[in-house]
Amino acid sequence: MIWILASTFILLTGYVLLILFFLKGWNQLPEINTKHRSKRSVFISVVIPFRNEEKNLVRLVEGIARQRFSFHHLEVVMVNDHSTDKGMDCLSELMHEYSWLHLESSRGHGKKAALRHGVSAATGELIVATDADCHFGRDWLQTISETYISQNPDMIIMPVGMERGNGFRGAFQQNDYLALQMVTAGAAGCGVPVISSGANLAFKKKSYLETARKIPGEQYLSGDDVFLLHAFKAEGFKITYLKSAQAMVKTYPAPGWKSFLLQRMRWGGKSKGYTDTRAKLVALMILVTNSWLAILPFLAMIDVRIAFLWLGVLSLKIIIDRILLNQGKGFFAVSSGLFRFLAISFLYPTYILVAGVGSLFIRERWKDRTGK
């Protein structure tokens, strides 16, 4: 019993300190609301790798066409990763309407190779990467441009929100994604960014080209975001987080539990390739703490006192998690009642354990393609 108490105390203390660290970082970030346009401008290349996204392409391009941004300083480079649908035909028609729209075909395989090809083909000083299934507000690019001009960073990490799906599954995914975003922003706010999302990421083309050969995780089909961030950190480049609802993009939840779990296993599997020590420690602390909470109920079969220990520790974890997520739910437009949040919180440790263990054995898949 003593070793169980000691292990629980150490893990819980570390976890609480980590959450407080993220909370501090989030509150240190200034919230940006772009009202005045700078007279200066930067040429932006939006690079979008895609594979079999026919149903999303028209909406995506029309969303960019509605941007309140000078199209004389914009190009959109769509990079086809060997699609088998009619997306290429769709884009070819749209190119007749929009002169800033360009289409490229990736010579490699996977999202990372497609992004690399798109950046090489781009002519802009600033690259903005997003996904074909995302949507954004009209001031998205203008807000990014203003931040780049005023701060001159090498990389801008930006918020990604998730639309609410159906029922409990939708609420679970939205809360899980909110937690991921608060970790992203909180760590960056403390000056130690550990993760980012390729659904909304901006960086200097010059800095990317200087770092391209040093980006780790080459064996993974995706991971263009986190591995790029770690490479930029290793080079000492300036990295900032843009806390602005105007700069946010929105994505959609996975259509089912299976696809959701496989996606999270794919994300978790990339952590094996991390070269950034702090990113490894954050991932390990979250995995081990939640896994321990998932295992404790089984240990209670040996000693009933462990059941009371588990309930106490889980309750404290729920409280500290709730405090962190409450800070961001207004910004990310996430609504979750207390009872639903409690249900999610009780399932969460088991979910993290399953996703973590599964990531060790499930081969990476991206858009029907299997990694090494």
Closest of 100, 79, 77 to residue 367, by C-alpha: 79
pLDDT in tens, 301-360: 888 889 999 999 999 999 999 999 999 999 999 987 889 999 999 999 999 999 988 887
Interatomic CA distance for residues 141 and 70, integer angstroms = 9
pLDDT in tens, 93-123: 999 999 999 999 998 888 888 999 999 999 9
pLDDT at position 337: 84
Question: Would you say the pTM of this structure is higher than 0.85?
Answer: yes
- With the C-alpha atoms ordered 309, 311, 314, 319, is the resulting torsion angle positive or negative? negative
Rounded CA separation 39/37 (Å): 6
Q: Give the Cα separation of 371 and 143 in Å (integer).
A: 36
Residues 6+ apart with CB under 8 A from 233: 193, 239, 276
pLDDT in tens, 35-50: 766 667 899 999 999 9
pLDDT tens per residue, range 43-74:
999 999 999 999 999 999 999 999 999 999 99
Note whether 86 and 57 are within 8 A (CB). no
For the chain, which domains are there? 2-25+276-360 (no CATH), 31-170+179-254 (3.90.550.10)
- Confidence band of 13 (pLDDT split at 50, 70, 90): very high
Backbone angles phi, psi at 61, to 5 degrees: -65, -40
How many Å apart are CA 242 and CA 140, to the nearest integer? 11
Mean pLDDT of 2-13: 90
pLDDT band at 212 (very low <50, low <70, confident <90, very high): confident
Strand pairing report for 239-241 and 155-157:
parallel
**Token pair of 80, please?**
């086809």
Q: How far apart are CA 126 and CA 145, in angstroms?
A: 9
